[in-house]
Amino acid sequence: MKGQMMHRPLKIADIITFAAANYPNGELVSVRTEGDIHRTTYRETAHRVAQLAHGLNKLGVNPGDRIATLAWNGYRHFELYYAISGIGAVCHTINPRLSAEQMIYIVNHAKDRILFCDTTFVPIIEKLRAHFPEDLRVVIMTDRAHMPETSLEGALCYEELLDGQPQEIDWPDFDENQAAGLCYTSGTTGNPKGTLFSHRSTLLHAFTLCITIPKVLQEGTRILPVVPLFHVNAWGLPYAAPLSGASLIFPGGALDGKSLFDLLDTEKVFSAWGVPTVWLGLMNEINQRGRLPDGFGDVVIGGSAAPRTLIEAFETKGVNVCHAWGMTEMSPLGTQCNLPPDMADLPQEQRIDRKQSQGRGVFGVEMKIVDDAGNRMPHDGVSQGHLYVRGNTITSGYFEDPEASTPVFDRDGWFCTGDIAVIDPQGFLKITDRSKDLIKSGGEWISSLDLENIVMSHPDVANCAVIAVPDPKWDERPLLVVVPREDAQPQEDDLLALLADRLAKWQVPDEIVFVEQLPLTATGKVSKLTLRKQHAEGGL
């Protein structure tokens, strides 16, 4: 027997309509590329979102079209999230830190029709324009007075697209499984892979955030996402904040400790979200000034493991640390480590021990750990296995990439995270290692295989391997280990120049180690585990 309740599709645009009606004065504060601070409310934003949606319709955007953004965290980027998905198109956020090659790949793979960009990124687009689809239109996210000189033919001005458009809109109805957002993430093998979020998955994820982190996601709190809107939808904050009535403070492009401290301080931000590298910069500034930013009381740390010293530094200063784990493919939230009431009074040392784990699962995300043969392992806090997840906010396959999709699902449809973990009887997850061959530096991925392929093309290199090594600032950095060909002496500078030619600067290793041979596994593959161990013991 079926229930007799109405079925209304879950749609993203309903969030901004709801926020405008119920939290009209909830704020969006943005550090703008124009150099000033811009303030607006959910009520005003809903009007501008409607204007932008009309503007997009006028440009001929159809449901399902991919509309790309290359932009910092700011109110215009937020408006694009709602207007693009509101009319049934797909908001494709591009990471500006990608190499030119990767950016060209994803704009073409996504078949983007329009590219919205901040003025900062105009030079990048000018350089790559010839490699993008011919009919791609570019819209520069500023007003007429700040439009830069550009060689981009027919570039439009964002504010002119909105000018004169009606401030109200009847959002179209469509199936809640309609695609809404697209975000590419680095693959272990070469090309990035797209996660295609739906309206339904986005709303379910926003609900989950609100019930999981209720002390932060509530009416009147002020939240600063350092995590970029181009990185898994800033962990869902652009949806969960208006849904709960919280305000958002967007930092623009300046993410150094001093700029962040000043913004947190003047805007009385309660909670800030981002990767460990950013918080190390902020902590230096806090130590230098000898005080916390005014009103600051909570930090969400994710994207990489939060170092113990960082957790300790925040907690001893009275700032609650919520260590979280997730993935682009999971929308992203999987676990969070706010402590349950019965652990709140533990001695500080034990609380910090606990918070070093990635915490307990959120509603809607099932987790299992399995051995190499796929057999389930117990959640006993000791057994270590491959972590698989399943749920309504988790990808069911990469965008137009069956080849990359097949290997990441098991027979029962669970998604393989590529993380190695233990889960204890109380449900706390601890990530202990990574099986995917990637390096995460400052919150961004570097593919070991990409680096190795480039280095192997050098005539003096017989073999090579790239491993992740711990770094106090960037969490991890790539280390290149090279076996020279017999009678050859490849030069460090030559190899680094070869890499710099093909990759973004931050992806190039800082160091190369030359060895006579690489350790191998029983099946003859390079044993990166052994290499990492040798490095840790000073043996490289």
| Residues in touch with ligand AMP (CB under 6 A) | 185, 232, 302-305, 323-325, 327-328, 332, 358, 417-419, 431, 434, 440, 445
Contact 414, 396 (CB under 8 A): no
Q: Which of residues 121 and 445 has its CB atom nearest to ligand AMP in the complex?
A: 445
In sequence order, what are the residues at sequence separation of 6 or more whose Cβ sits closer than 8 angstroms to the Cβ of residue 146? 33, 34, 119
Q: Rounded to the nearest whole angstrom, what is the least distance from the CB of residue 359 to ligand AMP in the complex?
A: 9
Q: Which of 531, 388, 520, 406 is nearest to 466 (CA)?
A: 531
In this structure, what token pair is assigned to residue 339?
A: 């402590």
Identity (one letter) of the amino acid at 435? S
Residue 145 CA, chain-centre distance (Å), reads 32
Which CB atom, from 53 or from 322, has the smaller least distance to ligand AMP?
322
Which has the closest alpha carbon to 128: 106, 110, 158? 106
Complex with ligand AMP: residue 239 or 445, whichever CB lies closer: 445
- In the complex, least distance from residue 186 CB atom to ligand AMP, rounded to whole angstroms: 7
DSSP string, 421-479: EEE-TT-EEEEEEE-SSEEEETTEEEEHHHHHHHHHTSTTEEEEEEEEEEETTTEEEEE
CA pair distance 251, 73, nearest whole angstrom: 6
In terms of CB distance, is 244 or 441 closer to ligand AMP? 441
Report the residue number, 66 or 386, with the smaller CB distance to ligand AMP: 386
What minimum distance in Å lies between the beta carbon of 431 and ligand AMP?
4
CA–CA separation, 532 vs 540, rounded Å? Answer: 9
Q: Strand, coil or helix: what is 248?
A: strand
Shortest distance, CB of residue 288 to ligand AMP, whole angstroms?
27
Beta bridge partners of 468: 478
- Closest CB 455 distance from ligand AMP, rounded Å: 24
Please report, in angstroms and rounded to a whole number, the separation of the first and last CA atoms in the chain: 66
Distance, CA of 200 to CA of 92 (rounded, Å): 17
User: What is the C-alpha to C-alpha distance for residues 280 and 131, in angstroms, rounded to an integer?
Assistant: 38
SS3 state at 75: helix
Select 136 or 431, whichever has its Cβ closest to ligand AMP.
431
- As annotated, the active-site residues are 185, 329, 440, 445
| 464 close to 450: Cβ distance less than 8 angstroms | no
Nearer to ligand AMP, 440 or 458 (CB): 440
Cis ω on the peptide bond leading into residue 425 (within 30° of 0)?
A: no
Considering beta carbons, is residue 327 or 339 the nearer one to ligand AMP? Answer: 327
Backbone angles phi, psi at 528, to 5 degrees: -70, -30
The rounded distance, in Å, linking the Cα atoms of 52 and 377 is: 51
Pairing mode of beta strands 37-41, 27-31: antiparallel
CA distance 324 to 333: 7
- The alpha helices in 111-197, defined as continuous H runs, are 122-128, 158-162
Q: Which residue is nearest to ligand AMP (CB)?
A: 328
What stretches of 76-178 adopt beta strand conformation (E)? Answer: 90-93, 114-117, 137-140, 156-157
In angstroms, give the least distance from the CB of 281 to ligand AMP: 18
SS3 368: strand
Residue that the structure tokens 């709140």 belong to: 344
* β-pair type (320-326, 298-301): parallel
Cβ distance to ligand AMP smaller for residue 305 or 369: 305
User: Minimal CA–CA distance to 329: which of 404, 267, 403?
Assistant: 404
Q: How far is the CB of 329 from ligand AMP (least distance, A)?
A: 7
Phi and psi at residue 133, to the nearest 5° = -55, 140
Q: In terms of CB distance, is 26 or 302 closer to ligand AMP?
A: 302
In whole angstroms, the minimum distance from the beta carbon of 175 to ligand AMP comes to 26
Q: Least Å distance between CB 316 and ligand AMP?
A: 20
* C-beta atoms surrounding 446 within 10 Å: 23
Nearest approach in angstroms of CB 260 to ligand AMP is 20
